[in-house]
Amino acid sequence: MTYRGVIAATTIAMCIAWASAPASRAQVGPTMASPVPDGLKAGTGAPFPKGHYGELDALPDWGGIWFLTFPRPGAGPRPAPPPGPMLKGKYKAQYEAWRERIHANNGVDKSATSHCTAPGLPMIMSLPQYPYEFLFTPGRVTINQEAWMQTRHIWTDGRVHPDDPEPGFFGHSIGHWEGDVLVADTIGIKDSVPLGMGMAHSDKLHVTERIHLKAGDPDTLLDEITVDDPEALEQPYSTTAAYHRDRYGQLLEFECAENDRNPVDDQGNTGFQQ
C-alpha cells in the first residue's frame, strides 16, 4: 500500500473510532509528522517562511494572470506547423493508431480527460483560453491554472528530488533562480498523463523549463520547455509557450463534472452525446 493509501486507511479508521467513541473519550490524537524532504535541514525551507518574505522583492514581477498566446499569421500562405516530438517504438505505433482513429471518426476519439482528469505536465503549460497565475512565496513558486483548477508547485528552497517520487499529474518539481529566470526540473509524472494529443510517454519522462519575462516586453512571459524520455522519444523535444498579462484579471472556478451530460457505460467509459 502506498504512503497515501496508508493515510487514507488510517483516516477512515479514525473516523469510525471517533463516531463510536463516547464523548468523554473522543479526543484528537497527535497529528502525523512528515519527514524532512531530501536536501533540507530541519527547520528550514518553504515550511518556515517567516523572515524571508522580504527576499521576494528581488524576484521579477509576474503579477496578474497570463493567457497563452499564438503568433498571428501574416500575409501569404500559412507557415507549416513546427515539428512535434519524435516518438519511437510502441509509443510511435500507438500515436499512429490514434491518428488513424481520428481520421476515421471525423476527429473524435476517446480520451482519459473525458473522465474530467486534468491534462497534467507538460500540457498544463500550453492550454489555450484558460489563464495562469504565478504566486511567489518563500521557497516555492505556485502555478494555478484555471482549467480543472490545477495547482502546481515548484520548490525553490534547495530540496532535491526524492529517490522514488510518488507519480503524479504534475510530477515533482524543484527549481532555482538564475537572475530573473526560473529554472524548473520535473520528474515523477504519471505515464497515464499525455505527452501531447494522442501521445503517451514512459515513467522516465523528464521536463526542464526556463520561465522568464520577454526582453523588452514586461507583459509577455516565456516558458522554454524541454522534454526528454529515453524510452519514448528519439531525442529531446523543445518548445516555447508565450503568455500575455492581464494585470487585473482573476481566475474563475472550473468544475469539470458539474452539469456533465455525457453518458458513462458500465465499464466507466465516457460516450458521446448525439
Instruction: Using CA atoms of 17, 20, 25, 30 in order, give the dihedral in degrees to the nearest 10.
Output: 20
Using alpha carbons, list the distances in angstroms from residue 237 to 93, 95, 208: 18, 16, 11
Query: Which of the residue ranges 117-121, 154-158, 202-206 would you say has the lowest mean pLDDT?
Result: 117-121
Is the per-residue pLDDT at 28 higher than 80? no
Instruction: Give me the pLDDT at residue 255, please.
Output: 83
Structural fold of domain 58-72+85-246 = Lipocalin (2.40.128)
End-to-end CA distance of the chain: 42
What's the pLDDT at 75? 64
Position 60 confidence tier, pLDDT thresholds 50, 70, 90: very high
Residue 115: CB partners within 8 Å, gap ≥ 6? 268, 270
Q: Which residue has the higher pLDDT, 208 or 108?
A: 208
Is the dihedral angle over the CA atoms 78, 73, 212, 252 positive or is it negative? Answer: negative
CB 65 within 8 A of CB 133: yes
Q: Examine the pLDDT at 207 and tell me if it is beyond 70.
A: yes
User: Which of the residue ranges 66-75, 182-191, 197-206 would you say has the lowest mean pLDDT?
Assistant: 66-75
Output the DSSP codes for 14-46.
HHHHHHHS-GGG----PPP-PPPPTT--TT-ST
pLDDT bucket at 9, cuts 50 / 70 / 90: low
pLDDT value at 163 more than 90: yes
Quickly state the pLDDT bin for 114 (edges 50, 70, 90): low
Q: In this prediction, what percent of the chain has a pLDDT beyond 90?
A: 66
Higher pLDDT, residue 112 or 206: 206
Burial class (CB in 10 A: 0-12, 13-18, 19+), 65: buried
How much is the pTM?
0.82
- Check pLDDT > 90 for residue 180: yes
Three-class SS state of 176 = strand
Mean pLDDT, range 184-198, rounded to an integer: 95
Q: What is the mean pLDDT of the chain?
A: 87
Q: What confidence score (pLDDT) does residue 22 get?
A: 56
Confidence of residue 117 (pLDDT cuts 50, 70, 90): confident
- Is residue 144 over pLDDT 90? yes
Is pLDDT above 60 for 173?
Answer: yes
220-271 confidence digits (pLDDT tens) = 999 999 999 999 999 999 999 999 999 999 999 988 777 666 677 787 776 6
Say which DSSP state 122 is in: T
Q: Which pLDDT score, from 0 to 100, does residue 49 have?
A: 97
- Is the pLDDT at 213 greater than 90, yes or no? yes
pLDDT-derived band at 87 (thresholds 50, 70, 90) equals very high
| Domain layout of the chain by residue ranges | 1-33, 58-72+85-246
Average pLDDT of span 35-58 = 96
